[in-house]
Chain A
Amino acid sequence: MARITVNGIPHDVDVEPETPLLWVLREQLGLTGTKYGCGVAQCGACTVQIDGAATRSCVLPVSAVEPTQNVTTIEGLSSDGSHPVQKAWLALDVPQCGYCQAGMIMAAAALLEQNKRPTDTDIDAEITNICRCGTYNRVRAAIKRAAEEA
């Protein structure tokens, strides 16, 4: 049994303590917006925020998350797409297949929380998520747009 707080709501979940946060979100809580891509913290499809910091949830045991920490998933960023990053993504029609995009958006939103005006170098350093469809240039443009409009 583990207690975690996700999108502001505490949950008691009946799982083995070493279960990665990703799979607790997806399978116990039904929050499937956070994706499995590699399981080894390489691709970033599983990116969520823990107290605002972008975190790859596929290698993080649920037992390592304190009940006092707030896990934010794509569903909690805003349910209606009204977060500035989501709005910028919509304006630039960024996604292709879309599978990596929740992770991209969560990483971008975390970046903008820490850095209101990220440079290209900042974006290169912080957004290391893999996209196979090839949306990188539009992701970059959308981050800059969100920075301008936030």
Chain B
Amino acid sequence: MNAISKLSRRNFIVGSTAAIGGLSLGFHVPFGREALADGSAPPEVNAWVVVKPDDTIVIRIARSEMGQGSLTGLAQLVAEELECDWSKVTTEYPTPGQNLARDRVWGDFTTTGSRAIRQSHQYLRQGGAAAREMLIAAAAEQWSVPASECQAANSIITHQPTGRTTTYGQVAEAAARQSPPAEITLKDPKDWKIAGKPLPRLDTADKLTGKQKYGIDLVQPNMMNAAIRACPVFGGKVASFDAAAVESMPGVRKVVQVDETAVAVVADTWWRAKTALDALPITWDEGPNTGVSSATIADMLAEGLEAEDAFVGTSLGDARGVISQGGKIVTATYAYPYQNHATMEPMNAMALWTPERCDVWVPTQSGESSLAAAAEAAGLPIQQCDVHKVHLGGGFGRRGGFQDFVGQAVRIAKQMPGTPVKLIWSREEDMLHGFYHPTTQCKLTGVLDDAGNIKALHIRISGQSILAAVRPEALRDGMDPVVFQGLHNGGDEYAFGYGVENLLVDHAMRNPPIPPGFWRGVNLNQNAVYVECFMDELAHAAGEDPLAFRRKLMGNHPKHLAVLEAVAERIGWNSAPPQGVHRGLAQIMGFGSYVAAAAEVSVSDGQLRIHRIVAATDPGHAVNPAQIERQVEGSFVYGLSACLYGECTVNGGRIEQENFDTYNVLRMAEMPQVETIIMPSGGFWGGVGEPTIAVAAPAVLNAIFAATGKRIRRLPLANHDLGSA
């Protein structure tokens, strides 16, 4: 069902006072059901499962599908316990407003941090199991037999003693009146038949014919289109604009100031809106940041590398003391630039505002954040607003917590009450108004003993904090824990994989006025470059093989080591590579999973060619290995795009790259062969959408060193001449 037909069918009661009061309400175990007011719709068995009379199974998906495939994986988890016929499974998104009205029965909608499956697998499976038990109970009641004599498989319920059968569709309505079971025992993952299998995605067919609707494609009767321009200088505002100059251009309906920073043109088509916007004279008050450039930012961060004060993320032993005693000291400074998410579908949202109600249709990674942004901009109580989610043409973190495009769409629509307005950003707007992968620099100092062991290691990060900019309430006494991803002393998300007796990881927070954001992989990306390239530097200084050097530090980190050993073995680390080909390794833990990569590259006349990558991932449990494989492959496209080209430079307080002609990304011709090893070791649930990105760059950079003797410490590679080694 697309979002628009959803709206016309939406008739649940949103006045439930129990649910009002913000978006931080507690989560309830999702067994309860509520009859939908619309008698024509089949009743839900519970919040997660609707069975239609024709045996179609509708599984409700709270998280967003943006290409990562978790729509399919989440449905597999419900279906596994439901014991339903997978070929009859379809999915639908409940709305954030429905979630709020039902006391957040679907839990968290957020689809960021590689969390969709690992955070919800338990209650999804419970929801599927509860629905199964209710369907069985309904059949047993109709047959007047004990439920314990009935079994369900493949959407068919069988009374074992008599062999009588019925289908889920036939008992669904009666099941909806059953009480949920008091106790649920989940299957052991080793008994899974649907989950854990490499099933094809549920959402492929429409993506091959043009039928799949994205936010940018939605149309409503009487809809208008908006094109927007915000002040290109961060911190700047609209001073004035001459609406009269463009109001008579074809199709133009209105020129509106959206907020302090942006102006929009509303027209019958988007192309006409954009054409008029391009012609609109706008004067900007560029604000206080016009003197900010990449050079001033780099200087600001460089100062932080040597600063006295820093937030301590990890401290073991006395790294400073041991380093001050001297010895064989190795030191290096790395730098990681700003990068734009560059989703293929530019930011967009459609809003319909009336004095009583506001609805928004939007591709979003966080429907509840969209709802909060819509309500705030609408100036209406949140229960008079709703958000209708649409498949995303890429998310990568840009469409998560940041809902600037929703606020803008509502503010425009509010100036045209009763008219649906679809706001589409141009690619240029998207490039100039991102929430950029934060920039950091890192100075690493290590001391080796005579045997080539690390006596002490100091990792000083200087640079931008995402949380300080977007969620200051999440800072811990001022410290941003996100900065230390992959460098924690233990833990189940971001544990450092090496045993170093004297280890200090600290962060001098330096926040330039460029908005930072969660960019797929987040801080794990640059931290993996820093640590894994420096490990190679230390190995080289110690005169040791990079794998052997790491191995002796990883005795207490068997899962980190296992993925590293797996890629080394598959790439043939112990045998010579083909003539002219050189290898590099990297490993890290992030988002709860252990990942490693081995790369084979050649550099000829300064030209880099990445021939082959072997990747290993241990996510604990693998819900759909086929989709994990795709996430791992895709992670190299994202990670290698960043490594080779990804850089947003700043000049005059604005980003200089406005489109793909200057913000290049990896394309087919540069794409290496990727071999993926999925090695779930059980006992934990890790994410897969992000962690592998982090090992792409360091594995390649270490291979480049092996090929050329040249250490690349400042990304991207495009700024370096590999021929001058």
Contacts and interface: CB of A to CB of B under 8 A. Distances in A.
Nearest to B431: A38
Interface extent on B, as a size class?
35 or more
Interface in B258-288: 269-272, 275
B1 interface: no
A26 to B, nearest CB: 8
A98 B212 contact: yes
Interface in A61-103: 73-75, 77-81, 86, 89-90, 93-102
Contact of A98 (B67, B200, B666): B67
> What does DSSP make chain A's interface, helix, strand, loop or mixed?
loop
Nearest to B674: A137
A1 interface: no
Contact of A133 (B67, B209, B427, B673): B67
A16 interface: yes
A112 to B, nearest CB: 15
Interface stretch (B131-139, B289-297, B392-400): B392-400
B205 interface: yes
Interface stretch (B376-384, B585-593, B634-642): B634-642
Contacts of B67: 95-98, 133
Contacts of B269: 23, 27-28
A93 B201 CA distance: 7
Interface in B344-387: 344-346
B714 interface: no
Contact of A35 (B344, B392, B661): B344
A16 B250 contact: yes
B219 A35 contact: no
A45 B665 CA distance: 14
Contact of A75 (B210, B225, B665, B671): B210
A124 to B, nearest CB: 4
B548 interface: no
B633 A131 contact: no
B660 A42 contact: yes
B540 to A, nearest CB: 31
- Residue from B205, B213, B391, B674 whose CB has the most chain A CB atoms within 10 Å: B205
B393 A35 contact: yes
A103 B666 CA distance: 17
Contacts of B667: 128-130, 136
Contacts of B271: 15, 19-20, 23, 27
B473 interface: no
Contact of A37 (B69, B203, B344, B641): B344
B211 interface: yes
Interface in B615-639: 626, 630, 633-638
- Residue from B219, B344, B346, B666 whose CB has the most chain A CB atoms within 10 Å: B344
A97 B66 contact: yes
B343 A43 contact: no
Contacts of B219: 30, 32
A105 interface: yes
Interface in B46-77: 66-69
Given A35-B344, A36-B346, A139-B668, A101 B207 contact: yes
Given A23-B270, A40-B660, A124-B668, A100 B344 contact: yes
Contacts of A129: 667-668
B191 interface: no
B671 A136 contact: yes
B342 interface: yes
A86 B209 contact: yes
Given A32-B217, A37-B427, A96-B69, A81 B201 contact: no
A93 B217 CA distance: 23
Contacts of B344: 35, 37, 43, 45, 97, 99-100, 130-133
- Residue from A15, A19, A99, A128 whose CB has the most chain B CB atoms within 10 Å: A99
B660 A130 contact: yes
Contacts of B637: 131-134, 136
B659 interface: yes
A31 B213 CA distance: 11
A46 B25 CA distance: 43
Contact of B630 (A35, A86, A138): A138
A140 interface: yes
Contacts of A94: 204
Contact of B394 (A33, A124, A133): A133
B86 interface: no
A127 B213 contact: no
Given A27-B270, A35-B345, A43-B344, A134 B212 contact: no
Nearest to A33: B210
B91 interface: no
12 contacts: A27-B270, A31-B210, A37-B344, A74-B210, A89-B208, A94-B204, A95-B208, A97-B394, A125-B669, A132-B665, A136-B667, A138-B630
Interface of B: 66-69, 200-201, 203-214, 216-217, 219, 225, 250, 269-272, 275, 342-346, 391-396, 424, 426-427, 626, 630, 633-638, 641, 659-661, 665-669, 671, 673-674
Interface of A: 15-16, 19-20, 23, 26-28, 30-40, 42-43, 45, 73-75, 77-81, 86, 89-90, 93-102, 105, 123-125, 127-140
